[in-house]
Amino acid sequence: MNYFELFEIPQNFDVDVAELAERYRELQKAVHPDKFANASEQQKLLAISKTAQVNDAFQTLKDPIRRAEHMLSLRGIDINNESTTMKDTGFLMQQMEWREALEDLRGSDDIETGIAELEGDFSQYRKQLLENLRKQLADDQASAAIVAADQVRKLKFMAKLQDELIRIQDSLYD
């Protein structure tokens, strides 16, 4: 199913989140199971199914990584359950450096400065990846979709690093 069509919004990487939320509320009102309380069991089940579909579509479209994965899947590229390895050695080296920096944070005398520096690095790199992804997804060429898939893989790596940084930050307050 094409979630952009379900929400009746243009199939672009950039979405108006306010418009998306408004369409979500409208769709939820239309298919909410409470609206079908006196309907047949089949209609109730259909309403539950439609509600789940609308919820999944909303969660997908509001998250840039999931939105990009969905756009790629509409082009026939499914990276959700793949085992493709990253071939960008420069990126892999940067990942290793960041992982080492995360480990070094745990024993640092100035952990807050280290966290701030890594947050800045992660944010800047993520911004660059998103800009590259935006350009690739706007291009209809098959080669652009392959490059976009690599950008999504990198964003997923970055999300894991960010999660680890948040755990370290949270441990400061425990």
CATH number, residue 10: 1.10.287.110
What does the DSSP 8-state code read for residue 110?
S
75 lies in some domain: no
pLDDT digits (tens, 9 = 90+) for 79-124: 876 666 677 899 999 999 999 999 999 888 898 999 999 999 999 9
Do 54 and 109 belong to one domain?
no
**25 pLDDT above the threshold of 70:** yes
pLDDT digits (tens, 9 = 90+) for 110-163: 989 999 999 999 999 999 999 999 999 999 999 999 999 999 999 999 999 999
What pLDDT was estimated at residue 48? 87
pTM exceeds 0.85, yes or no: yes
126 lies in some domain: yes
Range(s) of the domain holding residue 15: 3-62
**23 pLDDT above the threshold of 70:** yes
- Within 8 A by CB and 6+ apart from 43, the residues are 36
The token duo for 73 is: 């899947």
- Single residue among 13, 47, 62 that ends a domain in this structure: 62
17, 59, 67, 79, 135 from 142: Cα distances, Å: 28, 26, 18, 15, 13
Do 111 and 45 belong to one domain?
no
12, 75, 114, 137 from 140: Cα distances, Å: 12, 9, 41, 7
111 lies in some domain: yes
67 lies in some domain: no
What pLDDT was estimated at residue 114? 93
What pLDDT was estimated at residue 82? 64
